[in-house]
Amino acid sequence: MGRSAAFFDLDKTVIAKSSALAFGRPFYRDGLITRRDVVKSAYAQLMFRLGGTDEQTMARTRDYLAALCKGWPVEQVRQIVAETLHELINPYVYAEAAALIEQHRADGRDVVLVSASGDEMVRPIGELLGITDVIATRMAVVDGRYSGEVEFYAAGPSKVDGVRELAAERGYDLAESYAYSDSYSDRPLLECVGHPSVVNPDRALRKLATENAWPVLEFRHPVPLGRRLRERPAVPVAAAALSVGVGVAIGIAWYGRHRRTRVAAT
């Protein structure tokens, strides 16, 4: 029997928000996105949610992602993420996910984050959780700026390509491995391992889980890192078993707040 691993989707699985959306406000503040980008991003996010598993929709989302990020200085993106990580991400890590990650480590498994968000975002979030292995979207870089080309879009079936490549490199037995996700778009990821589980699933994924008798987990307790360390383990894993790319929609959180502010003022 080979080694095994646990593959975790990130958004709404490990953290209680979209990792890309979380950085929308500082990206807007620092001039990387405009108000027009905010509206377009909101639309792209909506289309992905409504039909994200469709190959054509994923291609459109990938192309939008590439166009949005073209020309961004890579170091500026990394600096924004580093400066705001503890404020925007740390308080939203599910205690149940943190406990489950620790349990997999205790059982001798490697833990891997697999996300459609950009590597520049996902890797620091992984480091926050003590995870060094990441499969994420990678943008081409020329002279320190994103060129507008996507080298690897970690969404849908492409996530499985990344997982299988890493499994071949590390000698993982995928039949003995685990995967966790909240979205039906990750059906290929869940089906490529022997032990899939769904977390806070959307309607389509909940139906699929029921049909396949997959465990359904409900994560409800985001807890900052400091509290998790003081109260370890914050939430027992058993208690949980009750049941897109860099900036695919990075402005939607700011946009929603902006609209509420305008409505309140009228």
Catalytic positions, please? Answer: 9, 11
8 A C-beta contact, residue 227 and residue 91 = no
Q: Which H helix or E strand runs over 147?
A: strand 145-152
Q: What are phi and psi of 232, to 5 degrees?
A: -55, 135
Burial class (CB in 10 A: 0-12, 13-18, 19+), 176: middle
Q: Cα–chain-centroid distance for residue 135?
A: 10
Nearest C-alpha neighbor of 136 from the set 106, 159, 102, 111: 159
As beta bridge partners, residue 93 has: 15
